[in-house]
């Protein structure tokens, strides 16, 4: 990967949008400050903006010192986050280029259920699932678990960063798992639990970076293992030879199928028989010291600062994948 932009002034005034009001605010702030620092070090005129409301204030200002030429979106989540298409629609209306997927890709992939429906329609593998509506009765939950067969995973359909997720091995654990997932907005998802290895695979533009196999010290890669613990192992590339190529090919198909563009990270489970199952898409991946996209980039010789510039550079494309245009 080679940077096309060598004159940093071409980017103009870059608002690094972080924080917000979603459940992932803390991680977004960590990511945003890392991105901001990298841009400033490389000579980009970048500044922090905390949340969409603050961004709106700047967008309607006519003051020259508050002008925004493009947005590096590092908000996470929905409802105050920047991954559900609302922010993207706002920036489209103002004609402001931005990083990441457009309205379609962002809105679709924020909903794990609809993302799986698209993948299944395209013949792409994803774990079997059942949608649970808010207020689902015990009988409905038990029936879903019987249909899928334990163990299962229960999680909110529109949250990230492993919030609200439970692994259920016994019928007696179902109620508590549903109670936790239903404390977040939107529907819930009960999904077949795939026993095997977890992988995360970043995509920058049309290039798939090496996969990362995640080996937590504990039994699962939960919030603590992602953002707090220092003993999680990240093996990159996660596979070798043909198996690695097949995984990357599947991820690129999945990325394009749901209208993503710019950059994303796709999570995959690989069972003990070597079958891959697509889990979900993160259209504004974390960029903290624990984050996976920088780890994969480093494997192919791309520094954190260069990675940030590659992502920012993607906002200069005239048309995003699958007709989802932005960055004008």
Residue 70 in this model has a pLDDT that exceeds 50: yes
pLDDT tens digits along 282-325: 999 999 877 899 999 999 999 999 999 999 999 987 433 333 44
Cis peptide before 237 (omega within 30 of 0): yes
Cα distance between residue 73 and residue 194, in whole Å: 32
As given in the structure block, the two tokens for residue 165 are 């997720």
pLDDT tens digits along 29-44: 999 999 999 999 999 9
As given in the structure block, the two tokens for residue 168 are 């259920």
Q: Average pLDDT, whole number, for the chain? A: 90
Residue 291 is a catalytic residue? no
How far apart, in Å, are the Cα atoms of 64 and each of 58, 69, 93? 10, 11, 20
Residue 63 is a catalytic residue? no
CA torsion angle 139 145 150 155 (round to 10): -110
Q: Which of 186, 259, 262, 286 is catalytic?
A: 286
Residue 289 is a catalytic residue? no
Residue 180 CB contacts under 8 Å (≥ 6 apart), including other chains? 154, 164, 166
Res. 63 pLDDT band, cuts 50 70 90: confident
Which residues lie across from 168 on neighbouring strands?
A: 152
Q: pLDDT value at position 10?
A: 96
Q: Which of 111, 267, 313, 324 is catalytic?
A: 267
Residue 265 is a catalytic residue? yes
Residue 70 is a catalytic residue? no
Crossing angle of helices 103-110 and 112-121, rounded to 10°: 110
Q: Which residue has the tokens 């109670």?
A: 179
As given in the structure block, the two tokens for residue 233 are 């192992």
As given in the structure block, the two tokens for residue 274 are 């070597």
Q: Which of 262, 265, 270, 314 is catalytic?
A: 265
What SS3 class is residue 158?
A: coil
Q: Which of 19, 22, 24, 313 is catalytic?
A: 24
How far apart, in Å, are the Cα atoms of 31 and each of 16, 74, 80, 115, 166? 10, 7, 16, 25, 25
Q: Which of 153, 159, 170, 282 has its CA nearest to residue 220?
A: 153
Q: Which of 23, 161, 276, 314 is catalytic?
A: 161
| 262 Rama class: left (phi>0) / alpha (psi -120 to 50) / beta | left
Residue 146 is a catalytic residue? no
| 26 Rama class: left (phi>0) / alpha (psi -120 to 50) / beta | alpha
Q: pLDDT value at position 24?
A: 81
pLDDT tens digits along 213-249: 999 876 655 555 555 556 789 999 999 999 999 999 9
pLDDT tens digits along 83-135: 889 999 999 999 999 999 999 999 999 999 999 999 999 999 999 999 999 88
Residue 25 is a catalytic residue? no
Residue 74 CB contacts under 8 Å (≥ 6 apart), including other chains? 16, 17, 18, 28, 31, 32, 35, 82, 284, 287
Q: Which of 22, 264, 282, 321 is catalytic?
A: 282
How far apart, in Å, are the Cα atoms of 199 and each of 216, 239, 240, 255, 292? 12, 9, 13, 15, 10
Residue 219 is a catalytic residue? no
219: how many CB neighbours lie within 10 A of its CB?
8
As given in the structure block, the two tokens for residue 167 are 């692994």
**DSSP conformational letter for 291:** -
Q: Which of 98, 129, 184, 227 is catalytic?
A: 227
Q: pLDDT value at position 62?
A: 72
Q: pLDDT value at position 71?
A: 98
Domains defined for the chain, CATH in brackets? 8-100 (3.40.50.20), 109-125+195-316 (3.30.470.20), 129-192 (3.30.1490.20)
Residue 23 in this model has a pLDDT that exceeds 90: no
């Amino acid at each position: 990967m080679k940077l096309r932009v060598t004159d940093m002034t071409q980017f103009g005034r870059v608002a690094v949008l972080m924080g917000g009001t979603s459940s992932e605010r803390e991680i977004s702030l960590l990511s945003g400050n890392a991105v901001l620092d990298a841009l400033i070090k490389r000579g980009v005129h970048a500044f922090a903006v905390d949340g969409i409301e603050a961004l709106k204030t700047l967008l309607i200002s006519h003051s020259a010192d508050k002008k925004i030429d493009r947005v590096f979106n590092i908000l996470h989540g929905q409802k105050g986050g920047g991954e559900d298409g609302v922010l993207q629609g706002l920036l489209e209306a103002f004609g402001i280029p931005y990083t990441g997927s457009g309205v379609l890709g962002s809105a679709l992939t924020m909903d794990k259920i609809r993302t799986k429906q698209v993948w299944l329609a395209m013949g792409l593998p994803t774990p079997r699932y059942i949608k649970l509506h808010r207020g689902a009765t015990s009988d409905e939950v038990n029936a879903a678990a019987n249909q899928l067969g334990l163990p299962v995973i229960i999680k909110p359909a529109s949250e990230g960063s492993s919030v609200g997720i439970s692994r259920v091995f016994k019928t007696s654990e179902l109620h508590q798992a549903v109670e936790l997932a239903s404390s977040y907005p939107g529907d819930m998802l009960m999904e077949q639990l795939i026993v095997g290895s977890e992988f995360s695979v970043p995509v920058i533009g049309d290039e798939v970076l090496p996969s990362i196999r995640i080996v937590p010290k504990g039994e699962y890669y939960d919030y603590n293992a992602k953002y707090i613990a220092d003993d999680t192992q990240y093996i990159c590339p996660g596979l070798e030879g043909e198996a690695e190529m097949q995984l990357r090919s599947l991820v690129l198909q999945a990325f394009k199928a749901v209208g993503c563009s710019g950059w994303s990270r796709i999570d995959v489970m690989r069972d003990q028989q070597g079958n891959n199952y697509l889990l979900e898409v993160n259209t504004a991946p974390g960029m903290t010291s624990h984050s996976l996209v920088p780890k994969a980039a480093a494997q192919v010789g791309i520094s954190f600062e260069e990675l940030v510039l590659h992502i920012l550079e993607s906002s200069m494309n005239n048309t995003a994948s699958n007709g989802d245009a932005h960055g004008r």
